[in-house]
Structure 1
Amino acid sequence: MRFVVLGDSFSEGVGDRAAGAWRGWAALLAEGLAGPGQRLEYANLAVSGALSADVAAHQASRAVALRPHLASVVVGVNDTLRHTFDIGLFARRLDRVLAALGATGAVLLTACLPDPGRMLGLPAPLARPLARRGRSVNAVVHALSARHGAVHLHLAEPAWTDDRRLWSADRLHPGERGHRAVAGAFHRLLAERGLARGPAPSPDASEPPPTRAQTALWLATAGTGWVLRRSRDLLPQLLLLAGEELLHPADGIGTGPLDARAETALAAALAATMEG
């Protein structure tokens, strides 16, 4: 049984360190897939910072060549943090990746993800445009998961986002408890379909959840580096988006036109993808 993982830092395992390396939900899930007499081959192709373009251009062909029985594709958050964000391009790329993997006979795993602005507690002018993009990405993921018959996990729901014990100090990636919870949720969905024949991953974490002090320390040290690495792209774009958010209330228009513009772009992306 071959399990191949595509995506970004969420699937790479960032936030769950074991034996000096990232482990994560996919590795935990892999341990519970094979039943008695089965042998599991596991390949994690996910790379921190990957965009949908990276998954489509680089990871997908490698994954198809491995002829997986099970393939997970979780991507999109990094797309929302780039000035090049285009929901139509995202939809077409994800559709191509899922179609290529589905054509091999692989069972597909997908997930929608929380809004990073809400998780970071950003002020409204910064959080709203990220939330708008996140809703569009999740809507595409939902639609394409249904189209390709994927096993889908809803990780944008309050049960996941409001439980801070599930998240690492950076507030963007699951901690050990979160990765174990994701692995357990996917295992249940696969077991219901007879696709997970081993024991479910343990929900018990070996490390306590991060304290407020640890979170503050991350934001002051590693978090600073995270912002600096993305400031050439993310920060200017966020400032432009925030300015647009602030202009509309000042003009007495409100943010309705911005929501309407995003909904129109999403509808066009879904229509074009579904007709393709």
Structure 2
Amino acid sequence: MAVLRLFLLFLTAPVLVAQAVRVRRATPRLPGATGPIEGALGTGRPLRLTVIGESTVDGVGAATHADALTGQLAVGLASAYPDREVRWHALGITGASARVVLDELVPRVRAADIVVVVLGVNDTLELHSAARYRRDLLAIIVEVRRRIGDVPVVLAGVPPLASFPSLPRPLRDVLGARSVALDRAARTLTRLPGVTHIPLVPGLLRPGMFAADRFHPGPDGYRAWAAALSEGLPIVTDGRHPGEVTRPS
């Protein structure tokens, strides 16, 4: 079967390349979110949340970071901990792979009580192997902990590119399969103490939840994704690390 898949991929390669070029040319280039990349919600003992990653952490598709993934994650944590002041910090680079995040963003991470890593789309688009992606994620975890201590780390599931409305078939199917493979590799890192994986369930981001480029989440998409992630963050923050936080499909 593996040989057959490689043969079929070889046959469809010209179509995939042509589709990729058309998508790149036709997709609007949206800016990252504006406004502060950090903020606070609530009062009480501080609960420090750092989110690090690619364009979704940069807030592409939302007007401000408060409306994007990090800000909405902070809302979820503040709801779960009404007696805490949730201090959030978004560190994102549009177009970043895991290696870029390791080199350019991890050195900027400050002391935190929980770190959420949001990556995988650009590694998928760049056709990085699952082994390379896992290796780079592991390096991020190790380096973050070397810098700020034994902080719990949450790996957000790689978004399933098979559900991205901007991608035509068969390109959508090929990239969707690659994103699943990278996400599967990320899940193996939950064998490490204090590392949790929270999947992005296929179908969670419906077509109406995407931004104008039909590739990044819009505000509704960020709220839905943050709500799914927020179900697992209190578990981790309370010192429990189930490895995989499962959600109904």
TM-score bin, normalised by smaller chain: 0.5 to 0.7
Aligned-partner Cα distance in 2 for 1:147–1:3 = 20
- Shift of the 194–76 alpha-carbon distance from structure 1 to 2, 3 Å rule, reads closer
Contact 1:112 1:153 in 2 (8 A): yes
Contact 1:151 1:190 in 2 (8 A): no
Figure out how many residues of one structure are paired with residues of the other and give that number. Answer: 188
| Counterpart residue number, 2:151 | 106
2:179 is the alignment partner of 1:134: yes
| Counterpart residue number, 1:267 | none
| Counterpart residue number, 2:86 | 40
| Counterpart residue number, 1:169 | 212
| Equivalent position SS for 1:171 | coil
Task: Using the TM superposition, give the Cα deviation of residue 106 of structure 1 relative to its aligned residue in structure 2, in angstroms.
Answer: 1.5
Task: Using the TM superposition, give the Cα deviation of residue 173 of structure 1 relative to its aligned residue in structure 2, in angstroms.
Answer: 1.4
Contact 1:99 1:148 in 2 (8 A): no
Task: Using the TM superposition, give the Cα deviation of residue 56 of structure 1 relative to its aligned residue in structure 2, in angstroms.
Answer: 1.1
- Identify unmatched segments of 5+ residues in structure 1: 196-276
Aligned-partner Cα distance in 2 for 1:88–1:152 = 17
- Shift of the 159–131 alpha-carbon distance from structure 1 to 2, 3 Å rule, reads closer
| Counterpart residue number, 2:61 | 15
Task: Using the TM superposition, give the Cα deviation of residue 32 of structure 1 relative to its aligned residue in structure 2, in angstroms.
Answer: 4.2
- Shift of the 38–131 alpha-carbon distance from structure 1 to 2, 3 Å rule, reads closer
- Shift of the 183–114 alpha-carbon distance from structure 1 to 2, 3 Å rule, reads closer
- Shift of the 33–166 alpha-carbon distance from structure 1 to 2, 3 Å rule, reads same
Aligned-partner Cα distance in 1 for 2:61–2:66 = 7
Task: Using the TM superposition, give the Cα deviation of residue 24 of structure 1 relative to its aligned residue in structure 2, in angstroms.
Answer: 0.6
Task: Using the TM superposition, give the Cα deviation of residue 73 of structure 1 relative to its aligned residue in structure 2, in angstroms.
Answer: 0.6
Aligned-partner Cα distance in 1 for 2:53–2:111 = 17
CA RMSD of aligned residues (A): 2.6
Contact 1:9 1:47 in 2 (8 A): yes
Candidates 60, 78, 91, aligned match of 2:106: 60
| Counterpart residue number, 2:10 | none
Aligned-partner Cα distance in 1 for 2:66–2:115 = 19
Q: Deviations over 1:176-200 (max 9, x none)?
A: 11111122222222234565xxxxx
| Counterpart residue number, 1:205 | none
| Counterpart residue number, 2:21 | none
| Equivalent position SS for 2:184 | helix
| Counterpart residue number, 1:158 | 202
Task: Using the TM superposition, give the Cα deviation of residue 50 of structure 1 relative to its aligned residue in structure 2, in angstroms.
Answer: 0.9
Candidates 82, 96, 120, aligned match of 1:50: 96
Aligned-partner Cα distance in 2 for 1:51–1:147 = 22
User: Which residue identity lines up with residue 28 of structure 1 in the other structure?
Assistant: Q
User: Which residue identity lines up with residue 176 of structure 1 in the other structure?
Assistant: P
User: Which residue identity lines up with residue 54 of structure 1 in the other structure?
Assistant: V
Contact 2:68 2:219 in 1 (8 A): yes
Aligned-partner Cα distance in 2 for 1:193–1:139 = 20
User: Which residue identity lines up with residue 181 of structure 1 in the other structure?
Assistant: A
| Counterpart residue number, 2:28 | none
Aligned-partner Cα distance in 1 for 2:142–2:105 = 14
- Shift of the 47–105 alpha-carbon distance from structure 1 to 2, 3 Å rule, reads same
| Counterpart residue number, 2:228 | 185
- Shift of the 59–137 alpha-carbon distance from structure 1 to 2, 3 Å rule, reads same
User: Which residue identity lines up with residue 192 of structure 2 in the other structure?
Assistant: R
Task: Using the TM superposition, give the Cα deviation of residue 44 of structure 1 relative to its aligned residue in structure 2, in angstroms.
Answer: 1.1
Contact 2:131 2:185 in 1 (8 A): no
Aligned-partner Cα distance in 1 for 2:190–2:59 = 22
| Counterpart residue number, 2:4 | none
Contact 1:12 1:22 in 2 (8 A): no
User: Which residue identity lines up with residue 88 of structure 1 in the other structure?
Assistant: A
2:68 is the alignment partner of 1:24: yes
Report the TM-score, using the length of structure 1 for normalisation: 0.60
- Identify unmatched segments of 5+ residues in structure 2: 1-46, 239-249
Aligned-partner Cα distance in 2 for 1:7–1:148 = 21
